[in-house]
């Protein structure tokens, strides 16, 4: 550290004054990183958990939907009565319900063959964002992981992912959190 030169009134500058030197090795000290703040670790572990859970659930279902199309159609067909109780298709004519349910199940099973692998990728991004936040390596990846967690809506990871993602974004928005990441 040194005291900077200032104007001396005669058009010149005073000399710089050395106040302290770096450590005894002569090399400039490398700045030490602060310990990871718990406010970052908690949402990071939430993202890691949701990422792993999403990878497993979406991976298993992707495998089932890709390898057993008839089983996938039946899986969707078994979900339709509960959806009808919730109001989806409740006004379908009773005489046509079986035909309509078969069509809906076939259409949904076809769509799930590409939707589930897509959300498996989203779950991987959530996991990578949680890892980036926990290790403080990539601020942008941590942000993307938080947003991906908030948008990952299939299965049981919806609510926990949304909470962890929103919490993580709020924490990443603070100046203290930005200082935690290596630039």
Q: Give the residue among 132, 139, 121, 130 at the shortest CA–CA distance from 50.
A: 130
CB 133 within 8 A of CB 43: yes
- 3-class SS of residue 14: coil
Closest by alpha carbon to 167, among 181, 147, 151, 152? 147
Rounded distance between C-alpha atoms, residue 35 and residue 29, angstroms: 18
161 burial class (0-12, 13-18, 19+ CB within 10 angstroms)? buried
List, in sequence order, every residue forming a beta bridge with 13; answer none if it has no partner.
7
Q: pLDDT tens for the chain, 183 residues: list them.
A: 878 888 888 888 888 888 887 764 444 555 555 555 777 889 999 999 999 998 999 999 999 999 999 999 999 999 888 888 888 887 888 888 889 889 999 999 999 999 999 989 999 999 999 999 999 889 999 999 999 998 876 555 568 888 889 999 999 988 888 887 755
> What does the pLDDT read at residue 24?
47
pLDDT the model gives residue 97: 85
70-74 long-range Cβ contacts below 8 angstroms, 24+ apart? 72/109, 72/112, 72/113, 73/102, 73/105, 73/106, 73/109, 74/105
């Amino acid at each position: 550290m040194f005291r900077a030169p200032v104007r001396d009134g005669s058009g010149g500058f005073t000399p710089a004054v050395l106040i302290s030197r770096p450590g005894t090795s002569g090399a400039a000290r490398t700045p030490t990183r602060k310990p990871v703040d718990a406010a970052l670790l908690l949402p990071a572990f939430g993202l890691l958990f949701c990422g792993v859970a999403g990878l497993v659930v979406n991976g298993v279902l992707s495998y089932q939907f890709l390898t057993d199309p008839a089983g996938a159609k039946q899986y969707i067909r078994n979900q339709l009565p509960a959806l009808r109780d919730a109001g989806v298709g409740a006004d379908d004519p009773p005489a046509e319900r079986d035909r309509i349910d078969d069509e809906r199940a076939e259409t949904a099973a076809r769509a799930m063959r590409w939707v589930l692998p897509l959300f498996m990728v989203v779950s991987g991004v959530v996991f990578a964002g949680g890892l980036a936040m926990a290790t403080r390596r990539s601020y942008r990846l941590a942000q993307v992981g938080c947003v991906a967690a908030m948008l990952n809506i299939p299965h049981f990871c919806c609510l926990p992912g949304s909470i962890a993602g929103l919490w993580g974004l709020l924490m990443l928005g603070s100046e203290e959190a930005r200082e935690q990441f290596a630039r």
